[in-house]
Chains A and B, each alone.
Chain A
Amino acid sequence: MVKLKKDTFKIGNKKLKSRLIVGTGKYKNFYETAKAVKASGADMVTVAVRRINILDKKKPILTDYLNPKKIVYLPNTAGCFNSIEALRTLRLAREMGGWKLVKLEVLGDKKTLYPNMIETLESTKILVKEGFKVMVYCTDDPLFAKKLEDCGASAIMPLASPIGSGLGLQNKINISMIIKQSRVPVIVDAGIGTASDATIAMELGCDGVLINSAIAKAKKPVLMAKAFKDAVISGRNSYLAGRMSKNNLAIPSSPYKGLI
């Protein structure tokens, strides 16, 4: 039997078993969140930082359902529209549990939720200087992706299409260019709509994908989580196996020799 080379995945210093990272937003309740996360096989989940509800002491909280000691929490800056807000959020997240590996997103526009790349670059520089390992949500512009890497980003996270749109991979050429030039992991973040989109991203050579809405907003989120798990493994194996070349004409699969 052919022994396959061990396929490891590392972001910053963090070794991950799964190349699927899942978000924890938009679910019906925490119970469903926990079940979907488990079915996805992900060992890293994104979480947001918000004010605690001080009036309702009995309200369930995320950490009761997803144990941060068992699954890697990746604090994000969702909802931050400038560098100051994003830095404040991540410094608080670090204080909460010592998290140095974080996901930075500085949004630029409420309608498209496109990242403000100028603020994103500046924030990345500051966070890297403060010792953070920064995974950065960004546009699919190869030049900005390169600049982020030069600033010390731990992972480049270009969007497939706008956040929550489910439109899938809209610019395969750019994503491929980013993959080719990057020495840090490239993780497609945002816009994936269904399992096959994730497979396509992985076949292009992405190191991982981050999925939230496509699982949480599926009719059966737990089953969709399993579908994504398989899709990512499949896409990765397909990438590693190396696809056949394309031909414009047919090439028979059975030999002509010995034909009766």
Chain B
Amino acid sequence: MNSLIMAKIQLNGKKVDIKTNYSIFDLLKKYKLLNKKVAIEYNGQIIPKGSFKKKYLKHNDKIEIVHFIGGG
């Protein structure tokens, strides 16, 4: 097993492998979403922007990243 891959998380319903010591900030950076209007739910809890760097991901975490789309 690759020693860098330490955990599997569920991101927007999809299983994703992440490295150890990976924060929400790192995750958003990876998907180029740092400057986008998004909101994050971490295991059912909304995480404020100020805590993105402090919140580290662990095995089996469930992350939802949402944004605005067209709607009536």
**Chain B residues near A (Cβ < 8 Å):** 11-14, 16, 31-33, 36-41, 46, 48-49, 64-72
| Chain B residues closer than 8 Å to A68, beta-carbon distance | 37, 68
Contact of A49 among B31, B48, B66, B72 (CB under 8 A): B66
Chain A contacts for B48, CB-based, 8 A: 95
Partner of A213, one of B37, B39, B46, B72: B72
B41/A33 in contact, CB under 8 A: no
Task: Say whether A47 contacts B13, CB under 8 Å.
Answer: no
Which of chain A's residues has its CB closest to B48's CB?
A95
Beta-carbon nearest neighbor of B13 in chain A: A51
Distance of B48 from chain A, by nearest CB (Å): 7
Inter-chain contact A163/B72, CB cutoff 8 Å:
yes
Which A residues, 37 to 80, have Cβ-Cβ distances below 8 Å to chain B?
46-52, 54-55, 57, 61-63, 68, 73, 75-76, 78
Closest to A65 in B: B70
Chain A interfacial positions (CB closer than 8 Å to B): 23-27, 30, 33, 46-52, 54-55, 57, 61-63, 68, 73, 75-76, 78, 88, 91-93, 95-97, 163-164, 210, 212-213
Q: Is the CB of A24 within 8 A of B12?
A: no
User: Of B14, B31, B49, B66, which one neighbours A50 at CB under 8 angstroms?
Assistant: B66
A52 adjacent to B71 (CB under 8 Å): no
Q: Can you report 26 A-B residue pairs in the complex whose CB atoms are below 8 A from each other?
A: A24-B70, A46-B71, A47-B69, A47-B70, A47-B71, A48-B68, A48-B71, A49-B69, A50-B66, A50-B67, A54-B14, A57-B32, A61-B36, A62-B68, A62-B70, A63-B68, A68-B68, A75-B68, A78-B71, A92-B39, A95-B40, A95-B46, A95-B48, A96-B68, A163-B72, A212-B71
Interface of A (DSSP majority class): mixed
Question: Contacts A51-B12, A57-B31, A91-B46; is A96 near B67 (CB within 8 Å)?
Answer: yes
Beta-carbon contact of B37 and A23 below 8 Å: no
Could you say which of A30, A54, A96 contacts B70, with CB atoms under 8 Å apart? Answer: A30
Chain B residues positioned under 8 Å from A24 (CB to CB): 70-72
Q: For A52, give its contact among B16, B38, B46, B70 (CB under 8 Å).
A: B38
Q: Report the Cα distance A47→B12, complex, angstroms.
A: 19
User: Could you tell me if A52 and B72 are in contact, using CB atoms closer than 8 angstroms?
Assistant: no
Q: Do A26 and B72 touch across chains, with their CB atoms under 8 A apart?
A: yes
Q: In the complex, what residues of B have CB within 8 A of residue A55's CB? A: 14
- Distance (Å) between the CB of B2 and the closest chain A CB? 21
B37 contacts A97, C-beta separation under 8 Å: yes
Q: Please give the distance in Å from A80's CB to the nearest CB on chain B.
A: 11
